[in-house]
Amino acid sequence: MAIARETVEQVASVSDKYKYGFISDIEADTAPIGLSEDIVRFISAKKEEPEWLLEWRLKAYRYWLTMEEPEWANVHYPKIDFQDIYYYSAPKQKDKLKSLDEVDPELLEVYKKLGIPLKEQEVLAGVEGAYNVAVDAVFDSVSVATTFKARLEKEGVIFCPISEAVRDHPDLVKEYMGSVVPYTDNYYAALNSAVFTDGSFCYIPKGVRCPMELSTYFRINAAQTGQFERTLIIAEDESYVSYLEGCTAPMRDENQLHAAVVELIIKKDAEIKYSTVQNWYPGDENGVGGIYNFVTKRAACRGENAKVSWTQVETGSAITWKYPSCILQGDNSVGEFYSIAIANNMQQADTGTKMIHLGKNTSSTIISKGISAGKAQNTYRGLVRMGRKAENARNHTVCDSLLIGDKCGAHTVPYIENQSRTATIEHEATTSKVSEEQLFYCQQRGLSEEESMALIVNGFCKEVLQKLPMEFAVEAQKLVGISLEGSVG
Amino acid sequence: MKTLTPLAQTYLDRFDAARSSLPGHQIPVVAALRETGFARFKALDFPGRKVEEWRFTNLAPLTKGIEPAAAAANADLPAAEFDTPHVMTFINGRFSPNESHLDQLPEGIKLSSLAAELDAGNSVVLGADTEENRPVVALNTAFMADGFVLQVEDGVTLDAPLLVRFVSLPGSGEVSHHLRNVIRLGKGAATTLLEEHVGIDGHAYFANPVTDITLAEGATLRHYKYQAESDAAFHLANTDTDLATGATYENFALTTGARLARNELESRIMGAGATSILNGAYLIRGQQHADTTTLTRHLVPENDSKQVYKGILDGEAQGVFQGKIQIVPDAQKVSGDQLSRALLLSDRASVSVKPELEIHADDVKCSHGASSGELDEDALFYLQSRGIEEKAARKMLIDAFLADVLEEISDDAVRTYFAKVTARWMEEV
């Protein structure tokens, strides 16, 4: 009867809508609303930052003031009032924490509800089924807890909130922050550089294979608050790390802004695997509320044989604007991008990647699966560039779009620039709908229409789902079903 | 007010004289059309690279102004290689009756010059102004001086292809030609047309042809273009085609000429059962830049489009292909396919490709493919291992690469002619 039980669970979870939409009543310490140099100074002071970082923030802020909001993406929304956002909100903290046990139990409760364990005991005690993952939990503007720090420290791995890294490892932060995504990069990167509040910092020393998966869980809770986090991961020669990122937010009628910057630095023979399940609140079926997700993610493969792999499952957010990219500088370096983007109801997604090939024998793979349902618009936008010196570089791109319903749109906008004779670029894209025959077949075998759709879509996404770490893959598969709820029938 | 590019400024200075002397100036609708085009061009100027549609093609060498070169002094009219009884010739943008043979055209087919039509007060051929934001088309609307007007009555089919030659010769002092061509095919009419754009190497000029095509129900137009402008020339062409129910448009553009060329095509499919086929090959070398930009718009349900473009690039040549397939809401049961392939023969050549899909209906089948690279080393090795010299083996593989798309040309005479032209180009690789 295992199958029957599984079906029941599947149906239960499918009918579960957005289950992370609750609001937690946690007392917060908030900056005055709006944005100005004073706010930038306020954030910097709150974080007890050194002078150089404040200067950097101010430079970014002044540069941001000269920039114009980008309009090239295929997304439409009312102009954002940057003065109507709280740029800093942190849960009130009684005293400095000495260990995890001192974390506000209310916060722990929130994360328990989200399914993210902030406890080490279970794993240490060898409880079966416990996550063997170190978690950094970011709540609104600050990191509230990081697990397994001691275990990681033994290997020399640094995993901590970025504000702590600024304090404890200023040289590393100073050297690498902004080196992949400078504050001049784009509008939202400049804004983030000015007002970023927290995020994760990982440093994997030479020759170390990180003993567990590292994970950051982002939660927006406070109303009218923007979340601006910054993640920096450095993989030294011959090291390896798998990093997971998850995010949720309460259901609110207003739109909230999330503008993050993620920088990855991969040295010789090192590898970073970066997986995201993005499940910000997408707004309701009429397009009211939801997160504006404007994110800059970029990896620099600086050494020979460096490898980076981005895997993303984008199911949430009212608007997604995100292009995780790879700069393949080192000879033989490898970049991968596996993406599932699901847009339902009034969601708009404009996402893709950039593969910039500079070194010899560099190779990249792009697999993008876009699914549009309801009245959603889903755009793949990507760039593959082969530089003059990218001898024998290779790229293979597949972007497939699936349309469910006749009111949605699927768009593909790839840019391919080749300056290298010996480079090989292959790009293919298809757009189609779920065939009646497939649906009929599944239903004839006793599945409901909705289950059939979830099954077919999961099959369509399989190539990408397989790239996710196990725990994430299970969650992602369920998410695919939930996100498409209401798109058939 | 923003500063205009130097070339745009010269057009501003010339328009006063032009508006009262160009053909059709006595006809109010034509005069109004020119004024609209001029106002639009003045507001837009030539596009810079910040304009998304032009990010890969830099017009700066053109817009800083054209210096008429002194080269190629003894320029006779190059003889036509394509053999057909119906030939119409334009020299430096003006109809040249002496070099044309139009007396054998059958009943129901009229091929005339736009200037003659406008002089006779016939402005209907021009149609309405639907231009929105293409400055190169707006410039043409303001300055159009001549072009061919092809009108085919319902049910009439033409036996042999029409050849229209646009020849640019040095010595006239005029360095820009704004040709406006009009093609109107009646219900069930069928015609084959070959356009040839020829220049004398070393001669710098700016060719700016705009072709406006309307195909009525069930009409078939096979429209071929051989662009072999001078190696110092600029060629910015636009062809817009409206397809009614059951109409078929087949376009093939062979590009070997010009220093900087852009061939822009827009197919608007407005009827069920219509088919738009846009194919082409560009063979460029040296400092040449060739851009092909297409837009296929499926505006109603149940129709098809296909595109195949192949490029061979040598020297420091730059190739560009931008192709967009658009399917509007409710245009169900549409299929749209597109393929773009480029072969780089040298280390300094480059290619930029942007195949785009914009789809707002679910019951459709769309695909695009793009590839770029050098000759397949394995295939080359295989042929050499069979005793074929490297040079011959390379030629064989390039031939095969091109043959694919040349085979799509449905007119035998044109296909044979284009194969000859491409073979000649390849001998110089």
pLDDT digits (tens, 9 = 90+) for B260-271: 999 999 999 999
- Of all residues in chain A, the one with the smallest CA distance to B375 is A422
| B130: pLDDT strictly greater than 80 | no
ipTM above 0.90, yes or no: no
**Any chain B CB within 8 A of the CB of A439?**
no
**Any chain A CB within 8 A of the CB of B359?**
yes
With cut-offs at 50, 70 and 90, classify the pLDDT of residue A132.
low
Tell me the backbone φ, ψ of residue A359, rounded to 5 degrees. Answer: -85, 165
Distance from CA of A385 to the nearest CA of B (A): 9
Name the burial class of residue B343, with classes exposed (0-12), middle (13-18) and buried (19+) by CB atoms within 10 angstroms of its CB: buried
Task: Count how many pairs of residues, chain A against chain B, have C-beta atoms within 8 Å.
Answer: 117
Cross-chain CB nearest to B330 (options A406, A422, A425): A406
Least confident span in A75-79, A110-114, A129-133, B82-86? A129-133
d(CA A317, CA A278): 8
Q: DSSP of B118-170, one letter per residue?
A: HHTT--GGG------S-HHHHHHHHH--B-EEEEE-TT-B-SS-EEEEEEE-T
The verdict on a CB contact (< 8 Å) between A417 and B359 is no
Q: Which two tokens stand for residue B111?
A: 């091929």
pLDDT digits (tens, 9 = 90+) for B218-228: 999 999 999 99
d(CA A194, CA B176): 52
Cross-chain CB nearest to A432 (options B332, B345, B365): B365
| A94: pLDDT strictly greater than 60 | no
Tell me the backbone φ, ψ of residue B149, rounded to 5 degrees. Answer: -120, 115
Distance from CA of A318 to the nearest CA of B (A): 19
Closest of A223, A288, A293 to residue A258, by C-alpha: A293
With cut-offs at 50, 70 and 90, classify the pLDDT of residue A110.
confident
Q: Are B158 and B106 in contact (CB under 8 A)?
A: yes
**Any chain A CB within 8 A of the CB of B295?**
no
Mutate to test the interface with B, among A380, A406, A421, A456 (most CBs of B within 10 A): A421
pLDDT digits (tens, 9 = 90+) for B359-380: 999 889 888 999 998 988 899 9
| B286: pLDDT strictly greater than 50 | yes
The verdict on a CB contact (< 8 Å) between A411 and B357 is yes
**Any chain B CB within 8 A of the CB of A209?**
no
**Any chain B CB within 8 A of the CB of A115?**
no
The verdict on a CB contact (< 8 Å) between A406 and B369 is no
The verdict on a CB contact (< 8 Å) between A424 and B372 is yes
**Any chain B CB within 8 A of the CB of A409?**
yes
| A12: pLDDT strictly greater than 90 | no
> Model's pTM, two decimal places?
0.88
Distance from CA of A394 to the nearest CA of B (A): 9
With cut-offs at 50, 70 and 90, classify the pLDDT of residue A13.
very low
**Any chain B CB within 8 A of the CB of A371?**
no
Q: Are B190 and B216 in contact (CB under 8 A)?
A: no
Q: Are A132 and A214 in contact (CB under 8 A)?
A: no
Residues of A in contact with B359 (CB under 8 A): 401, 403, 409-411, 431
Residue A129, SS3? coil
Q: Across all residues in chain A, what is the average pLDDT? A: 85
Looking only at the bridges linking them, the beta strands covering B109-113 and B148-152 are antiparallel
pLDDT digits (tens, 9 = 90+) for A190-205: 999 999 988 899 999 9
Those residues with Cβ within 8 angstroms of residue A83's Cβ, 6 or more apart along the chain or in another chain: A33, A34, A35
C-alpha to C-alpha distances, B10 to A167, B4, B15, nearest whole angstrom:
62, 10, 9
The verdict on a CB contact (< 8 Å) between B367 and A431 is yes
Q: Are A301 and A280 in contact (CB under 8 A)?
A: no
Range B100-124 average pLDDT? 93
Closest of A75, A21, A71 to residue A343, by C-alpha: A75
The verdict on a CB contact (< 8 Å) between B371 and A72 is no
The verdict on a CB contact (< 8 Å) between A418 and B330 is no
Per-residue confidence (pLDDT) for residue A2, from 0 to 100: 39
The verdict on a CB contact (< 8 Å) between A401 and B359 is yes
Residues of B in contact with A410 (CB under 8 A): 357, 359
Least confident span in A16-25, A348-357, A410-419? A16-25
Cross-chain CB nearest to A430 (options B344, B358, B367): B367
Half-sphere exposure of B196 (CA within 13 A, CB side): 22
d(CA B91, CA B203): 14
Question: Which residue is listed with tokens 């005991």?
Answer: A121
With cut-offs at 50, 70 and 90, classify the pLDDT of residue A128.
very low
Half-sphere exposure of A284 (CA within 13 A, CB side): 7
If you ran DSSP here, which 8-state letter would residue B54 be given?
G
Per-residue confidence (pLDDT) for residue B154, from 0 to 100: 97
Q: What angle do CA A138, A141, A143 make, to 5 degrees?
A: 35
Per-residue confidence (pLDDT) for residue A15, from 0 to 100: 40
Per-residue confidence (pLDDT) for residue A351, from 0 to 100: 94
| A5: pLDDT strictly greater than 60 | no
**Any chain A CB within 8 A of the CB of B410?**
no
pLDDT digits (tens, 9 = 90+) for A272-287: 999 988 888 888 888 8
Beta bridge pairs of residue B354: B322
Q: What angle do CA B15, B20, B23 make, to 5 degrees?
A: 100
* Higher per-residue pLDDT: B306 or A474: B306
Residues of B in contact with A425 (CB under 8 A): 370-373
pLDDT digits (tens, 9 = 90+) for A179-238: 999 999 999 999 999 999 888 999 999 999 998 888 888 888 777 788 898 999 999 999
Least confident span in A455-464, B29-38, B44-53? A455-464
Per-residue confidence (pLDDT) for residue A115, from 0 to 100: 66
Range A328-338 average pLDDT? 96
d(CA B328, CA B53): 20
Residues of A in contact with B349 (CB under 8 A): 421
With cut-offs at 50, 70 and 90, classify the pLDDT of residue A129.
very low
Range B89-111 average pLDDT? 94
Chain-centroid distance, C-alpha A119: 23
Per-residue confidence (pLDDT) for residue B161, from 0 to 100: 95
**Any chain A CB within 8 A of the CB of B330?**
yes
What are the b/e assignments for B292-313, b being 16+ CB within 10 Å? bbbbbbbbbbbbbbbbbbbbbb
| A8: pLDDT strictly greater than 60 | no
| A124: pLDDT strictly greater than 70 | no
Range B317-327 average pLDDT? 96
Cross-chain CB nearest to B371 (options A403, A422, A427): A427
Chain-centroid distance, C-alpha B193: 13
Per-residue confidence (pLDDT) for residue A14, from 0 to 100: 41
Q: DSSP of A301-324, one letter per residue?
A: E-STT-EEEEEEEE---SEEEE--
**Any chain A CB within 8 A of the CB of B363?**
yes
- Identity of the highest mean pLDDT range in A62-76, A445-459, B316-330: B316-330
| B117: pLDDT strictly greater than 90 | yes
| H or E element in which residue B403 lies | helix B390-406
